[in-house]
């Protein structure tokens, strides 16, 4: 049985300025998107269509806005709507914490739709570019959760070699579910998507693979993650994260089916 190291959530202090590890992990995620995006430009059809490094930088700017705005509003609407309905000004208090991946995903979808429209490019082609570059950033975010000792897992058998006590969660050993999610939704999904996207694919296929892959991995990881205290388990003993993941899986399968049914939609060589 292990003990959580109890990291100081503040990575760096410069006078009155405190830089938190979680904020740094967001910056790492955005930097990874930029770095991977530069390499994604070498894949087809983007190399043939003349996509430029400036396009990656523009998408990153729009994506950051989508992640922050969508992630915050998603947390408010999906997880604590009544709390913020009574105190709506707290929606802006992002320093208190509270971000939702599913809300951030919706924010990115809207942001990329706006960018694609401005650039007069197919929205799904843009999303196919973005999808393989995202999981590495998700892994960084989950590592940030682990450093903070938050979003811990459910109670585990003490004989589990990596069972861990999180001081804020009490004396019982728990699954380090943040690391499970970093490995599943982050590293594993990244490797699978990157390899899948390197070959010519029908427009929409890479986006569909991301939706299905993330939805499945998140659904599985939620069995080891402690449900939100104010929500608990919902219908069918599933968590909010699992209920929000199921529409992603359905949407991904539907998009994949659509991509294959379009007779004019050939792999983008």
Q: How many CB atoms sit inside 10 A of residue 4's CB?
A: 18
Parallel, antiparallel, or unpaired for β 173-174 and 164-165? antiparallel
Cα distances (Å, whole numbers) of residue 45 to 41, 176, 206, 264:
9, 40, 13, 16
Nearest residue to 144 (alpha-carbon basis) of 66, 242, 27: 27
Measured distance CA(229)–CA(227) in Å, rounded: 6
Nearest-Å Rg of the Cα atoms of the chain is: 19
Nearest to 214 by CA among 235, 237, 187: 187
Of 96, 99, 226, residue with least CA distance to 156:
226
User: Does 261 show up as a binding residue in the annotation?
Assistant: no
C-alpha dihedral sign at 26, 27, 28, 31: positive
Q: Which residues are annotated as a binding site?
A: 142
């Amino acid at each position: 049985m292990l003990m959580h190291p109890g990291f100081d959530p503040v990575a760096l202090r410069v006078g009155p300025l405190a830089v938190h590890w979680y904020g740094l992990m967001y910056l790492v995620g955005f930097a990874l998107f930029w770095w991977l995006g530069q390499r994604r430009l070498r894949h087809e059809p983007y190399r043939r269509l003349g996509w430029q490094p400036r396009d990656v930088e523009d998408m990153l700017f729009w994506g950051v806005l989508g992640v922050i705005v969508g992630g915050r509003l998603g947390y408010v609407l999906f997880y604590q709507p009544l709390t913020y309905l009574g105190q709506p000004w707290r929606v802006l208090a992002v320093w208190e914490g509270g971000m939702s991946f599913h809300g951030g995903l919706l924010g990115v979808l809207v942001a990329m739709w706006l960018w694609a429209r401005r650039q007069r490019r197919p929205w799904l082609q843009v999303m196919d570019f973005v999808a393989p570059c995202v999981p590495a950033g998700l892994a960084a975010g989950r590592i940030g959760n682990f450093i903070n000792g938050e979003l811990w897992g459910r109670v585990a058998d003490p004989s589990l070699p990596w069972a861990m006590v999180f001081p804020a969660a009490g004396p019982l050993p728990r699954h380090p579910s943040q690391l499970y999610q970093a490995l599943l939704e982050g590293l594993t999904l990244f490797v699978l998507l990157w390899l899948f996207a390197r070959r010519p694919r029908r427009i929409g296929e890479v986006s569909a693979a991301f939706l299905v892959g993330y939805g499945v991995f998140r659904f599985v990881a939620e069995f080891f993650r402690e449900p939100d205290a104010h929500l608990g388990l919902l219908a069918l003993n599933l968590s909010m994260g699992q209920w929000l993941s199921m529409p992603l899986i359905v949407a991904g399968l539907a998009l994949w089916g659509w991509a294959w049914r379009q007779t004019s939609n050939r792999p983008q060589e």
